Amino acid sequence: MSDNEVSMNYFDFRFAANTHLYFGAGKFKLLPKLINNFGENLLLVLGGQSFKKTSHYKWLLNALENSSARMYCASIQSEPSPNQVDEIVQIFQKKNIQVVVAIGGGSVIDAGKAVSAMLTKNTSVSAFLEDVGTQTHDGGKIPFIAVPTTAGTGSEATQNAVLSLVGKKGFKKSLRHENFVPDIALVDPELTLSCPGEISAACGMDALTQLIESYVSIKSSPMTDSLALGGLRVMGDAILKSAVLDPNDLDARTRICYGSYISGLTLANAGLGVVHGFASVIGGGFPIPHGVVCGTLLAQTTQKNIETLILLDPEGDSLLKYANAGKLLGKTKNNDPIKNARILSDLLMEWTEFLKIPRLSQFGVTRDDINEIVSATGQKNNPVALKKEELKNILKDRL
């Protein structure tokens, strides 16, 4: 294929994004007005108790009490399952809900996204899940506002809601449609200040994984490349500050929130690689948070991708992209692509250890599970096809 043909394909793409984004410290106070723009009947989807203990929650309740809004609430305690979504839909389907607002981490936002989509249907969400159901959703939904309280999944910018059924025959699959991108994403870094260190670390590593994987994805475009590289530039080493060194550093929190949002845009439009291929399988079989799976496997997987590319395509665009990321995050001035790419994998190794990202064995994964995990792991957008033995070694290194 000629350089001209590669260029023409590279500049042939579509791009999906939120209709509106409100980003910045203090933006949470816009929420009541945004809600009222859609109607009076509100379904508020929240997580466990963490957000309810904050002053932001008390303020929101007071603000809504002084408005004409009629508020209903639903709670998500863990990564959402199809049954949980179905139950919420059944409870509120006849309440004439006019807007769904999810305030929480990625799991809460995914749940709210799915509920928004299923309030217009009279069947189980399982019927529309990729590789699970047989029906195609038409994209009809109740207007949806996403308000993240963690920085990592980027779900506030994506078109899919990930639902899980954990167990031996479990799965982690998506309800997906371009219309499911939240109508409004309201990203206020102040909401993440109360997020515990271990969750901040895992979520931050998830965002980092999504930026890197979408940047080197074989389906990337000039727009996703620009966004992903810009997201990495803004994030820098802010994950270390927000999770460990200074959790109250609002600047670091803001930079992570920005990187997380951008990672949602880029993953939705460029796809992801083998780290998320692993995560889909492992998350369905074991009770392990998504961010932990990504965070614990990112460094080893990136290293394996880089070393394979050095052998197979040392002058290719994919290795150069890894080198660009390494030069940016490692703050190096040399122009050696191989050296800079290796700087990236070494840096990710250091961050994984510094942040104390848990290993897979802490959640019940054993050597006996590796073959089954690898056989089900996809790598459709990965920049290089890794052999099964290489995939096995990645998992063994993080048991």
The CATH number of residue 211's host domain is 1.20.1090.10
Residue 9 belongs to a domain = no
Say if residue 204 is in the same domain as residue 306: yes
User: 261 and 149, same structural domain?
Assistant: no
- Pairing type for strands 184-187 and 171-176 reads unpaired
Domain total in the chain? 2
- One domain, residues 231 and 178: no
Domain final residue, candidates 192, 227, 257: 192
Residue 377 lies in a domain: yes
Domain-embedded: residue 11: no
Q: Please write the tens of the pLDDT for every residue from 196-237.
A: 999 999 999 999 999 999 999 999 999 999 999 999 999 999
Residues 70, 99 within the same domain:
yes
**pTM across the whole model:** 0.94
Last residue of a domain, one of 192, 218, 239: 192
d(CA 65, CA 2): 63
Q: Tell me, yes or no, whether 388 lies in a domain.
A: yes
Which residues of the chain register pLDDT less than 50? 1-4
296 lies in some domain: yes
Same domain for 145 and 201, yes or no, is: no
Give yes or no: residues 245 and 368 share one domain: yes
d(CA 224, CA 10): 11
Cβ-contact 46, 74 below 8 angstroms: yes
Enter the tokens of residue 295. Answer: 């965070």
What gap in Å lies between CA 21 and CA 41, rounded to an integer?
Answer: 22
What is the predicted pLDDT for the residue at 4? Answer: 46
- pLDDT value, residue 13: 85
Is-contact 328 232, C-beta < 8 A? yes
Q: Among 192, 208, 234, identify where a domain stops.
A: 192
Task: Identify residue 38 by its one-letter amino acid code.
Answer: F
Structure tokens at 104: 């929480």
Asked whether residue 139 falls in the same domain as residue 264, the answer is no
Domain that holds residue 30: 20-192
Q: Are residues 186 and 219 in the same domain?
A: no
Q: Are residues 249 and 149 in the same domain?
A: no
Residue 214 covered by a domain? yes
Question: Domain of 148: which CATH number?
Answer: 3.40.50.1970
Are 131 and 258 contained in the same domain?
no
In a domain, residue 131? The reply is yes
pLDDT at 2: 41
Both tokens assigned to 317: 């665009």
Reading across the β-sheet that carries 20-23, which strands appear in turn? 20-23, 184-187, 144-148, 99-104, 41-46, 70-75
**Same structural domain for residues 42 and 161?**
yes
What 3-state class would DSSP assign to 176? strand
Whether 212 maps to a domain, the answer reads yes
Give the pLDDT score at 6: 54
Q: Tell me: do 201 and 142 sit in the same domain.
A: no
